Structures are given as C-alpha cells and as structure tokens.
Amino acid sequence: MYRNGHYGVALLTFAPVGVALVMTGLVDLAFVVGAGALWLAMLPDLDHRVPGLSHRGVTHTVWFALLLGGVLGAAGVAVGRLGLGAPYGPETLGAVGAAVGLVSVGSHLLADVLTPMGIRPLWPLSGRKFTLSLWTADSTLGNYSLLSLGVFVTAAWVGVLFVG
C-alpha cells in the first residue's frame, strides 16, 4: 500500500485501542498512541532507503513489530523513571510505548497483506507468504478507500465518546 492506505489502516487498527483508553479516562494517552501510530505507520518501508534491506523483508515481520514495541516500551519506562511522564509511572508509559510500536508496525503489515505481493511475517522461521490480493499497492481506489474508512471510523468513535 501507499502512504494514504497505510494511514487509513493505522487509524482502523488504533480504533479499539483508542476507544479502550478513552473509556478508561486516559484521553491524553489515547492521543499519544494514535499520533505515534500515524507518525510511524510508514516505518517498515524504510527498507526502500536502506542499502542491503530487501523490500518487505525483515522490516515487514512480526519480529520487527516486537522489536519496535520493545524499544519504545523501554523508552517509556526510562521516561517514567526519570519522572518526565507525570502523572504516569514507568509501567504505564512502557505500555504506551509498546502499544505505539505494535500498532504502527502491525497496521503496516495488515495493509500490505491486502496486496498481491503480501508479506512473510514470520521470516526467517517461515517463508510462507500471506496475501489477500484485494488490490495492488498503487491502487488509488484501495488507498483512498482505506484512508476514508479510517478517518470515518475514527470520527465516529470520537464523536460517540465525546459528543454523545
């Protein structure tokens, strides 16, 4: 998928996380996770710019999602221990960091599964390719449909929870 499609799937993937955070009163953390997921939605495609990395290789695996979640989770814990995340403690900030990493890369992988090229999410343990072949990555209809759906779903849940 292209950028617009990835943003749409990031919004869709974030929706249940955002709803859960808002319903528990953690509106500010919902904003952080959503913004982080959108900001990092294209991170796996850094393989286009890094010599030696094949496209939809290591950066398009569950291992990369877990690595980013772990790194951001550890950063959240560190921020909390330094007292920079008040009123939240290290455990909460660690969970938020991990959620940002998992949602951003996870949504990217989900979007790429929609294309004929698919992904090999368990590489190198398994070379099995997952694809739904719904449309090509450069499909204008596919990318804008996903973006529109993501924006609609986000607007709907925000409207329901905040406007009533």
Bridge partners (DSSP) of residue 119 are: 130
End-to-end CA distance of the chain: 34
The neighbour count for residue 82, using CB atoms within 10 Å, is: 9
Q: What is the mean pLDDT of the chain?
A: 95
Domain parsing of the chain, residue ranges: 3-108+137-162
Of the pLDDT bands very low, low, confident and very high (cuts 50, 70, 90), residue 163 is confident
**For residue 87, is the peptide bond before it cis, meaning its omega torsion is within 30 degrees of 0?**
yes
Query: The pTM is what?
Result: 0.93
Output the CA torsion sign for 36, 42, 47, 48: negative
CB 111, CB 105: distance < 8 Å: no
Distance CA(126)–CA(146), nearest Å, equals 29
Bridge partners (DSSP) of residue 110 are: none
How buried is residue 15: exposed, middle or buried, by Cβ count under 10 Å (0-12/13-18/19+)? middle
Distance CA(128)–CA(138), nearest Å, equals 23
**Per-residue pLDDT tens for 91-108?**
999 999 999 999 999 999
CB 22, CB 164: distance < 8 Å: no
CB 21, CB 27: distance < 8 Å: yes
**Per-residue pLDDT tens for 21-63?**
999 999 999 999 999 999 999 999 999 999 999 999 999 999 9
